[in-house]
Amino acid sequence: MNLEKIKKIISLSFKWVSICILIGLFSGTASAFFLVALEWVTQIREHNNWIIWLLPVGGLIIGLGYYYFGQEVVKGNNLLLEEYENPQKTIPLKMAPLVLLGTLITHLFGGSAGREGTAVQMGGAIADQFTSLFKLDNSERKIVLILGISAGFASIFGTPLAGALFALEVLYFSKINFKSILLSFVVAYAAYFTVELWKVKHTHYSIPVVPEITFTSLLWTILVSLLYGLAAMLFSRSTHFWQNLFSKTIPFPPLRPFIGGIILALTIYFIGTTKYIGLGIPMIVHAFSTPNASYDFLIKILFTGFTLGAGFKGGEVTPLFFVGATLGSALSVVVPLPIALLAGMGFVAVFSGATHTPIACTVMGMELFGIETGIFIGMACLIAYFSSGSVGIYQAQIVKGPKYLFYQKMKRKDIEML
C-alpha cells in the first residue's frame, strides 16, 4: 500500500469519525433535552388532570403548524425511509423542532403516543444537514440517514447496540455495506454517552428469575409469542385504519387532531382513568410484578392508534412496549412462566413484529434484561416477527428477508390451491 492510499484512508476515516461524533453529540443532546422536557410536561399533566380538556386545542396547534410550516416533513419516519430508498432532497432541519413541539403538546394534553419517532426524526433531520456540509453523494447520504436513525434510537432508549442494529435492520440489511454497519455502532455509542454526559436517566427494568430451558418452557414461549405477533399485527393495522379514516372523512388536515382531541378528551373523562395516555411507563413497570387486566393492552392499542391516526405526534415504540408488557403480564395468570419474563418477552416481541426488526429487538431485550434471558427473548422476537403479518407500523418500510420470502411462498400456495 503506497503512501497516497494511506493518506486517503486516514482522511476518510477522520471525516466519517468526525461526522459520527458530531451527529452523536447533536442528536444525543436533542434527545436529552427531549427526555427532560417530556418528563416535565408529563408531571404537569399528572398534577393537573383538567388540562386534558385542552387536547383539541393542542391538536389544532399541531395540525396548523404542520399544515402551514411543515407539509414537506409531515410523513415523519416514513420520509426518512423514503429518502433512504430513493434520495431526492435534504430533509429540512425544521422537522426536528416541529416534531419535538408536536410530541410535547401531545403528551402535555393527554394523547397516547411514544417518543422514539420523535428522537429518530430529530436524529435523521440533524444528520442529513451534514450531507451538504461535507458535500456527500447519494450513497454517502444513505449512510448519514442510517447514522441519524441509529443516534436517535440509541439515545432515547439508552440501548446503543439495539439502536445501531435497528437503524440497519429497519432499512433492510442486504442494501447496507460494511462501512454503514461500523459507523452505525460508532454514532450509537456517541449519542448514548452524550445523554449520559447530560446525566439524563432512562427507565430500568429487570427480570429477576429466568427459568431453566426445558421442553415445557420453550413450548409455552412459542405459544405466547404467537399472541405477541398477533398483538403487533393488530397495533399496526389499527394505526393505519384510523389514519385512513381521518384522511378520508376530514379533508382539512388541521381539523383531524382537533376533532380527534375532542373524542379523546371525552373518552378519557368517561373511562375515569389516565393510565392509558402518555407513554404509560408506570403501567409498564407495574406489569413486571403484578398481573394486568386482560383488556389493558387492547385499550392502549385503541388509544395510540386513534391518537396517531388523528394527527398527533410521537412514536409508536413505547406504546408497543406497553402493549407487549401488559399482555405478557395478563398471560401470567394462566401461563406457568415468571411474570417478569412474560412481560419482558412481550415488551420486545410486539416491537419486533410491528417493525420487522427481530435482531435489534433481541439485542435490546438482552441489553435491558440481561444476557441470561437471551434464548427466551430471541425466540419471542423471531416468532412474533413471523406471525405479525406483512404490514408494519412504517408504511414506507421495504419488507424483505425471511419474512418477505415466507409470505411470498404462502401467497403462491394460496394461488395454486385456487
How far is the C-alpha of 322 from the C-alpha of 275, rounded, in Å? 11
Whether 110 and 268 have beta carbons less than 8 Å apart is answered as: yes
- For position 177, what pLDDT does the model report? 74
Angstrom CA distances, 38 to 43, 104, 109, 151, 285, stand at 9, 6, 12, 18, 18
All cell numbers assigned to 292: 394486568
3-state SS of the chain?
Answer: CCHHHHHHHHHHHHHHHHHHHHHHHHHHHHHHHHHHHHHHHHHHHHHCHHHHHHHHHHHHHHHHHHHHHCHHHCCCHHHHHHHHHCCCCCCCCCHHHHHHHHHHHHHHHCCCCCCHHHHHHHHHHHHHHHHHHCCCCHHHHHHHHHHHHHHHHHHHHCCHHHHHHHHHHHCCHHHCCHHHHHHHHHHHHHHHHHHHHCCCCCCCCCCCCCCCCCHHHHHHHHHHHHHHHHHHHHHHHHHHHHHHHHHHHCCCCCHHHHHHHHHHHHHHHHHCCCCCCCCCHHHHHHHCCCCCCCCHHHHHHHHHHHHHHHCCCCCCHHHHHHHHHHHHHHHCCCCCCCHHHHHHHHHHHHHHHHHCCHHHHHHHHHHHHCHHHHHHHHHHHHHHHHHCCCCCCCCCCCCCHHHHHHHHHHHHHHHHHC
Whether 121 and 152 have beta carbons less than 8 Å apart is answered as: yes
Average pLDDT over residues 137-142: 92
How far is the C-alpha of 306 from the C-alpha of 55, rounded, in Å? 13
pLDDT of residue 409 exceeding 70, the answer is no
Sign for the CA dihedral angle at 272, 277, 282, 286 comes to positive
Q: In this predicted model, what pLDDT tens digit does every residue of 347-399 receive, in sequence order? A: 999 999 999 999 999 999 999 999 999 999 999 999 999 999 888 999 877 66
Nearest alpha carbon to residue 367 among 357, 378, 356: 378
How far is the C-alpha of 225 from the C-alpha of 376, rounded, in Å? 10
Q: In this predicted model, what pLDDT tens digit does every residue of 42-70 receive, in sequence order? A: 999 999 999 999 999 999 999 999 999 99
Whether 124 and 91 have beta carbons less than 8 Å apart is answered as: yes
- For position 263, what pLDDT does the model report? 98
Whether 288 and 343 have beta carbons less than 8 Å apart is answered as: yes
| Buried/exposed code over 29-42 (b: 16+ C-beta within 10 A; e: otherwise) | bbbbebbebbeebb
- For position 384, what pLDDT does the model report? 97
How far is the C-alpha of 27 from the C-alpha of 190, rounded, in Å? 9
Q: How many CB atoms lie within 10 A of CB 354?
A: 32
| pTM: predicted TM-score of the whole model, two decimal places | 0.94
How far is the C-alpha of 131 from the C-alpha of 385, rounded, in Å? 34
Phi, psi for 270 (deg, rounded to 5): -75, -30
Angle between helix axes 138-157 and 160-170 (nearest 10 degrees) is 140
Nearest alpha carbon to residue 353 among 310, 397, 312: 397
- For position 367, what pLDDT does the model report? 96
Of residues 412 and 100, which shows the higher confidence score? Answer: 100
pLDDT of residue 123 exceeding 70, the answer is yes
Instruction: Write down all domains in the chain, each with its CATH number in brackets.
Output: 3-197 (1.10.3080.10), 215-405 (1.10.3080.10)
How far is the C-alpha of 126 from the C-alpha of 312, rounded, in Å? 22
- For position 7, what pLDDT does the model report? 82
Q: In this predicted model, what pLDDT tens digit does every residue of 165-218 receive, in sequence order? A: 999 999 875 567 778 899 999 999 999 999 999 999 999 899 999 999 999 999
Burial of 407 (0-12, 13-18, 19+ CB in 10 A): middle
- For position 411, what pLDDT does the model report? 56
Nearest alpha carbon to residue 337 among 227, 226, 213: 213
- For position 2, what pLDDT does the model report? 77
All cell numbers assigned to 398: 421495504
- For position 130, what pLDDT does the model report? 96
Q: How far apart are the first and last CA of the chain?
A: 62
- The amino acid sitting at 185 is F
Ranking 246-260, 368-382, 403-417 by mean pLDDT, the lowest is 403-417
pLDDT of residue 271 exceeding 60, the answer is yes
How far is the C-alpha of 34 from the C-alpha of 209, rounded, in Å? 34
